[in-house]
Structure 1
Amino acid sequence: MAGRRSNGEGAIARRKDGLWEARFTYEDPETGEQKRASSYGKTQAEARRKMREKRARVDAGQPVRDATVPLSEWVDRWVATTLAASDRKQTTKATYATLAKVHIANGPLGTLTLDRVKPSDIDALTMHLRAEGKASSTVRQVYTILRALLDAAVRDGLLARNPALSVARPGVERKEARSLSPAEVLALLDATKGSRFAPLVAFLARTGLRRGEALALHWSDVDDTGGVIRVRGTLSRDDRRSAGDKLVITEPKTERSRRAVALSEPVRAILTRQRELQAADRAALPDLWQDSGLVFTSEVGGPVDPRNALRAVSVAAEKAGLAGVTVHTLRHSAASGMLNAGVPLTAVSDVLGHSSIAITGDVYGHVAPEVQRAAMDALDAALDSVRQ
């Protein structure tokens, strides 16, 4: 039994099996071909409602129906195309690819097709990761990756809407950064004496630069006249098989990471000592020397493997009797030292190259009790001066 057309929506009819079928034709935006879309329902009203939903999707430039591509298959395609073509750092791409394959493609959602992924499924994935004891930062990263690859599916016309948009981004527990007292930092530096990495460790401790930033520093970035060090890049390991596991220098992660850091006299002395060590290395191995222009180099003038810098700090920390110390601890210690000395948070954020002052405040929001007391005393003095 055929039904009448309603408001130009198409035709509706009852099938032999009792279901109602509503259908309409539309022009494929990519090919220009005329296509037909059908919707089914147990009642005429249900079939018409479904047809209206599809018509609305077409009018909005969305696919008439979501794709039935398996999510696991889409992950592989996304990693090989969208992720690979992005301007993210190679280390970030490698991390995203691993997390996407392990926790999404091979996780609880991997068996679903794109059209079947619901917000509640994404909530379930978050709960699953937490139940497995994954760090809150990992849980958030997996969500970020899932949202990105579903965004790509929307962009490519496979989905009308990203279901992850309806799910709140998982929170991350903020932990106060481990830092050393000035006395502990000096003990660590004393423990590096005799090591070829002593200038590097001292440089990190007195500038707060990231390990990769210090290792990417060229002598041309040291402006003695202006009294600043210009941070222009970061050195990291490109572990792609095609790259041959080599060290590369890339652009800073954010615009604020590209910055100028003031040269203090102790840092000038460190750099002078480093020039002397490089000259000795060049004289010892003239035929093997590589003129890379880097400040911190290997015995033959090439870039320093970041793992060697980490190992040097670990060895010195053990020698000094300091537990839980990494290269990044030196950065935290520099930040805490500046804040505890009364340096404004905005200035510390600039030195560290954080993308926003909020990050600096979250990580280094606490200062020593004596600094708090000094701040309260200063406030009292300011208020009392008004009465005098």
Structure 2
Amino acid sequence: MAKRRPSGDGMVRKREDGRWEGRIVVGHKENGEPIFRYVLAKTQKELLAKLHRDMDIYQDAQLTEDSRMTLGEWLDRWIEEYGAVTLRPNTLRSYEQYIRCYVKPYLGGKIVSRVTRLDIQKLYRKLKKEGRVHDHPEYGHELSDSMVLRIHAMLHRCLKDAERDHIVPYNPTDGVKLPKSNYKPKQVLDRDQMDAFLAAVDKNEIWRDFFYTELTTGLRRGEICGLMWRDFDENAGTLKILRSVNVPKRGEMEIGETKTERGRRTIRLPPSTVQRLKERKKHAISQWIFPEPLAPEKPVRPSAAYYWMKVLLKEAGLPHIRFHDLRHTFATHALASGVDAKTLSGILGHTNASFTLDTYTHVTPDMQRAASDVVGGFLEDLLGKELNPWPENEKAEPAP
């Protein structure tokens, strides 16, 4: 039996047309036959330079026959075999859209193992300049920095698995230059604004408990919509967050997992929130803590929560904010009033405390001192005599 040629092994010859051709072994088929990478050049010197470059790239790569598929084919396989079983439905739909609209039109036909870092860099540059599918009255066809970053996150994940499966010699998304994150600034309600908002909320019998609970827990919109009475322990004063509600555009309601594994958690509630929920439970007609008003067998739709937040903000004469800014408001005031980052990270369901600190770096010691009188008094009125309703030795615990 012939000796198996290692990856990176190569040979050089001069063709009849005068050009120089070289090839190197980049992997092997299932039957052991080598898979070659061919290189052409006008001169022997130029060819040797190209071969040495490729030898460094493919050394010990051990690519499989699947390395000959196109990037588009690999992404389709990834979605079917990896994404469909690991991604949340909403994330899966987003990935499918990114692949269909932003990757396949430009790089979908290129052999996946030949996609380079330069190819990826050119793709991001082109998407940034003219990647928007539908013309925008203000931005034209320019794609936002945040969208380019989301596309990069998707591609990086897909090609990382391709590298692991010996389909590409390296992940070409590593080391590319990315646009800076350009997220909308967080908008946090101050004490007067929160008083005004809660005053407007308190007049609405359907939504007052919902928004009071949101402001005292900082739950994600899908999480608070997915709360069930069996999640609430009125004796222990705790609440389990085990699921999230999502409704894709023009789609059916989906009840699934929380955003992250750490999202499944048990949090201790402020006494005032426990009391509100206990009173609400006495008149409950649904398994859901916050059911759809006209269909109590279903949880409230996240879009309805967003709509009524806008209505109540307008009634209170407050500026427009995103629903997630209610979560930011809770977190900012909690940090400013002394809740430590590790405890807050557990309450919010963040992956770790460092992410919490990175997200809320605007809450500096100076801000804490300046806010202590204002926020302290507000939280005492809202949550009870203790400024910190979550004692440091009672961390948020993972749900069983």
Q: 1:65 to 1:22 in 2, by over 3 A?
A: farther
> Do the aligned residues in 1 keep the contact of 2:26 with 2:63 (CA within 8 Å)?
no
Q: 1:355 to 1:38 in 2, by over 3 A?
A: closer
Deviation of 1:226 after TM superposition, in Å, equals: 2.1
Deviation of 1:337 after TM superposition, in Å, equals: 1.7
SS at match of 2:152: helix
SS at match of 1:302: strand
Deviation of 1:203 after TM superposition, in Å, equals: 0.9
Correspondence list, 1:72-151, <5 A: 72-85=72-85, 87-106=86-105, 108-110=106-108, 112-131=110-129, 132-151=141-160
Q: Which AA in structure 2 matches 1:127?
A: R
Once residues 102 and 303 of structure 1 are traced to their aligned partners in structure 2, the CA distance between those partners, rounded to angstroms, is 33
Partner residue of 1:264 out of 263, 266, 270: 270
Q: Which AA in structure 2 matches 1:135?
A: S
Correspondence list, 1:1-388, <5 A: 13-21=13-21, 28-33=28-33, 40-43=40-43, 53=54, 57=58, 59-63=60-64, 67=68, 69=70, 71-85=71-85, 87-106=86-105, 108-110=106-108, 112-131=110-129, 132-173=141-182, 176-192=185-201, 193-237=203-247, 245-278=251-284, 282=285, 293-299=287-293, 300-367=296-363, 371-373=368-370
Once residues 188 and 222 of structure 1 are traced to their aligned partners in structure 2, the CA distance between those partners, rounded to angstroms, is 25
TM-score (norm 2): 0.74
Once residues 340 and 34 of structure 2 are traced to their aligned partners in structure 1, the CA distance between those partners, rounded to angstroms, is 65
Once residues 261 and 26 of structure 1 are traced to their aligned partners in structure 2, the CA distance between those partners, rounded to angstroms, is 53
SS at match of 2:96: helix
SS at match of 2:255: strand
Q: Which AA in structure 1 matches 2:219?
A: L
> Do the aligned residues in 1 keep the contact of 2:26 with 2:58 (CA within 8 Å)?
no
Deviation of 1:294 after TM superposition, in Å, equals: 2.1
Once residues 358 and 81 of structure 1 are traced to their aligned partners in structure 2, the CA distance between those partners, rounded to angstroms, is 33
Q: 1:120 to 1:372 in 2, by over 3 A?
A: farther
Which ranges of structure 2 fall in alignment gaps of 5 or more residues? 1-8, 130-140, 373-400
Deviation of 1:204 after TM superposition, in Å, equals: 0.5
Deviation of 1:174 after TM superposition, in Å, equals: 5.5
> Do the aligned residues in 2 keep the contact of 1:75 with 1:101 (CA within 8 Å)?
no
Q: 1:380 — aligned with what? A: none
Q: 1:360 to 1:72 in 2, by over 3 A?
A: same
SS at match of 1:325: coil
Q: 1:120 to 1:29 in 2, by over 3 A?
A: closer
Deviation of 1:271 after TM superposition, in Å, equals: 0.7
SS at match of 1:230: strand
> Do the aligned residues in 2 keep the contact of 1:339 with 1:345 (CA within 8 Å)?
yes
**For 1:355-381, what per-residue CA distance to the aligned partner results, in whole angstroms no more than 9, with x for missing partners?**
222332233222486633589xxxxxx
TM-score (norm 1): 0.76
**For 1:89-115, what per-residue CA distance to the aligned partner results, in whole angstroms no more than 9, with x for missing partners?**
111111121122222123x44564435
> Do the aligned residues in 2 keep the contact of 1:175 with 1:363 (CA within 8 Å)?
no
Once residues 236 and 95 of structure 2 are traced to their aligned partners in structure 1, the CA distance between those partners, rounded to angstroms, is 40
Once residues 268 and 10 of structure 2 are traced to their aligned partners in structure 1, the CA distance between those partners, rounded to angstroms, is 71
Deviation of 1:141 after TM superposition, in Å, equals: 0.8
Once residues 232 and 75 of structure 1 are traced to their aligned partners in structure 2, the CA distance between those partners, rounded to angstroms, is 31
Identity %: 29
**For 1:5-38, what per-residue CA distance to the aligned partner results, in whole angstroms no more than 9, with x for missing partners?**
xxxx687554332334556889934133477776
Q: 1:38 to 1:306 in 2, by over 3 A?
A: closer
Q: Which AA in structure 2 matches 1:61?
A: Q
> Do the aligned residues in 2 keep the contact of 1:54 with 1:64 (CA within 8 Å)?
no
SS at match of 1:246: coil
Instruction: Number of aligned residue pairs: give it.
Output: 349
Q: Which AA in structure 1 matches 2:91?
A: T
**For 1:146-178, what per-residue CA distance to the aligned partner results, in whole angstroms no more than 9, with x for missing partners?**
223333444554432222123245431365411
Q: 1:29 to 1:318 in 2, by over 3 A?
A: same
> Do the aligned residues in 1 keep the contact of 2:332 with 2:363 (CA within 8 Å)?
yes
Q: 1:177 to 1:56 in 2, by over 3 A?
A: closer
> Do the aligned residues in 2 keep the contact of 1:208 with 1:352 (CA within 8 Å)?
yes
**For 1:232-285, what per-residue CA distance to the aligned partner results, in whole angstroms no more than 9, with x for missing partners?**
22222266x9xxx3323322233332222212221022212322442xxx4xxx
Q: 1:50 to 1:63 in 2, by over 3 A?
A: farther
> Do the aligned residues in 2 keep the contact of 1:57 with 1:64 (CA within 8 Å)?
no
Q: Which AA in structure 1 matches 2:352?
A: S
Deviation of 1:73 after TM superposition, in Å, equals: 4.6
> Do the aligned residues in 1 keep the contact of 2:335 with 2:341 (CA within 8 Å)?
yes
Moved more, 134-143 or 55-64: 55-64
SS at match of 2:267: strand
Once residues 328 and 25 of structure 1 are traced to their aligned partners in structure 2, the CA distance between those partners, rounded to angstroms, is 52
